[in-house]
């Protein structure tokens, strides 16, 4: 009897572990479920430091949550993967995953083996892909209005949905500037910089054919604030007196030696500034340094006398984007600073905006390779949310470039999958039939949640949708905007 008892105990333990994992994952899915769709609720998340974030973006909500359970963490990672790959739909994938796990729990309680369930779910997933491709419609990248509608769909469920008519055309124009609509098969979003600045409103957000630096030009020594036909240099070395390689102090008690040191420092900095001036540089971008001051008052004084505009604290991550935009090369040593490494721009100007000044670089020679979206908002919460929303809209457009197909939204694809998988399950035998039917039922969580969040009668809506899809209306979905329970889905989503 001992081996048999041991086996029973092992199975009991396996069952309890599976239940624990499923419950943890479902808890995460339920936490973000109420934020799904245009009528979904926003979440206010407070960090231990006291920072507050207001958003309904699934990836952002889950990122802020401190999840300890390993299976719950997998759902957070799933949302992150969706954010990287598709950019949007982070809440949807989490809700669907939670619904699938709920069906798994029901199937496990019936005594179906986990391997059979996973194989059947993979079969249903492949079949679902075929169903989506059959109901999708081709999209033309040259059709700007169609792309704007796709971007608006992504923005409609965000906090800044009221400004979608402003942001969507900007996102579409930004993408169309860096790709060829006729031949493009991918879009590198690193060529679109999203720069934030506090002050103004979201309606003041603009598309800049060039660069925007949120830091001001250095005027401590009276340097210029506007340069036409600029030649731009990008340096990664410091325009200040050198320091010793190791941490040590040098004590000088002789006044004549002190004067000599100061003169040497002055001459050392002057020689560097003269080499920069000799190359023809009129605008100098200085990378941020963590070892010592990138510039000091003396170097700023010399550069101001030479009529060179200085912009400091350039982030290392921005170097590649700046080089690609202006056509300049980063210089690591003053001895290699030469005219051929300079970039060009028609105008570099310091402009007043909102709560401070920014430096704008326009008229760059590589126009069409990179663009900058300059976001403005009246407070930090709205500004951060507008940046996240623009990122999602750009990712949706990138998906359309990769796969030039769209299908109706409003829960229509999920209902179509549920209907056709239900019919497909009838052709299967044994346990697979149960599992595929369970997968089909799990898909109905999306239209059910959309209706629930909109304050509609969810059971009545989903039942009516089943009936409409059975009659062949593959694009029938929920129109929560117009307050009608059932309508031809007008929003658009990527396949």
By annotation, the residues acting in catalysis are 57, 90-91, 392
Cβ neighbours of 174 (radius 10 Å): 26
Which residue's entry shows tokens 């009936």? 467
Q: Which two tokens stand for residue 14?
A: 């396996």
Residue pair 475/465 in contact (Cβ under 8 Å)? The answer is no
Q: Which residues contact 340 (CB under 8 A, 6 or more apart)?
A: none
Closest C-alpha to 389, from 34, 88, 51:
88
8 Å CB contact between 282 and 230? yes
Distance CA 399, CA 397 (A): 5
What does residue 179 show for φ and ψ, rounded to 5 degrees? -130, 165
Any bridge partners for residue 469, and if so which?
A: none
């Amino acid at each position: 009897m001992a081996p048999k008892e041991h086996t029973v105990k092992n199975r009991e333990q396996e069952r309890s572990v599976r239940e624990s994992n499923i419950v943890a994952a479902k808890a995460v899915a339920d936490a973000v479920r109420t934020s799904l769709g245009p009528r979904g609720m926003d979440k206010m998340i407070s960090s231990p430091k006291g920072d507050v974030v207001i958003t309904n973006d699934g990836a952002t909500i889950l990122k802020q949550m401190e999840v300890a359970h390993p299976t719950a963490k997998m759902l957070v990672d799933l949302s992150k993967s969706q954010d990287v790959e598709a950019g949007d739909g982070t809440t949807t994938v989490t809700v669907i995953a939670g619904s699938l796990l709920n069906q798994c729990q029901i199937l496990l309680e019936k005594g179906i083996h986990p391997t059979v369930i996973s194989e059947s779910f993979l079969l249903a997933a492949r079949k679902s892909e075929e169903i989506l491709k059959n109901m999708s419609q081709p999209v033309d990248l040259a059709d700007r209005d169609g792309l704007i509608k796709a971007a608006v769909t992504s923005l409609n469920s965000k906090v800044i949905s009221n400004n979608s008519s402003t942001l969507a055309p900007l996102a579409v124009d930004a993408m169309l500037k860096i790709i060829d609509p006729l031949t493009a098969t991918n879009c590198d979003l690193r060529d679109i910089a999203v720069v934030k600045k506090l002050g103004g409103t979201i309606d003041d957000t603009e598309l800049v054919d060039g660069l925007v630096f949120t830091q001001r030009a250095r005027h401590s020594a009276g340097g210029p604030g506007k340069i036409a036909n600029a030649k731009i240099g990008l340096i990664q070395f410091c325009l200040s007196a050198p320091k010793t390689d190791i941490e040590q102090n040098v004590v000088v008690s002789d006044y004549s030696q002190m004067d000599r040191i100061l003169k040497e420092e002055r001459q050392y900095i002057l020689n560097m500034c003269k080499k920069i001036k000799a190359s023809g540089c009129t605008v100098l971008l200085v990378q941020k340094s963590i070892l010592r001051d990138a510039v000091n008052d003396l170097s700023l004084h010399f550069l101001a006398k030479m009529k060179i505009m200085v912009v400091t604290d350039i982030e290392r991550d921005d170097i590649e984007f700046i080089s690609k935009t202006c056509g300049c090369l980063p210089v690591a040593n003053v001895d290699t600073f030469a005219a051929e490494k300079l970039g060009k721009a028609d105008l570099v100007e310091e402009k007043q905006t909102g709560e401070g000044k920014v430096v704008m670089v326009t008229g760059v020679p590589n126009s069409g390779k990179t663009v900058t979206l300059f976001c403005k908002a009246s407070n930090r919460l709205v500004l951060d949310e507008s940046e996240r929303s623009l990122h999602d809209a750009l990712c949706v457009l990138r998906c359309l470039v990769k796969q030039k197909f769209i299908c109706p939204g409003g829960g229509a694809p999920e209902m179509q999958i549920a209907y056709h998988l239900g019919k497909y399950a009838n052709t299967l035998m044994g346990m697979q039939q149960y599992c595929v039917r369970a997968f089909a039922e799990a898909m109905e969580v999306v239209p059910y949640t959309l209706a629930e969040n909109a304050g509609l009668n969810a059971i009545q809506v989903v039942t009516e949708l089943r009936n409409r899809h059975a009659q062949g209306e593959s694009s029938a979905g929920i129109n929560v905007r117009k307050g009608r329970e059932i309508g031809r889905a007008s929003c658009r989503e990527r396949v």
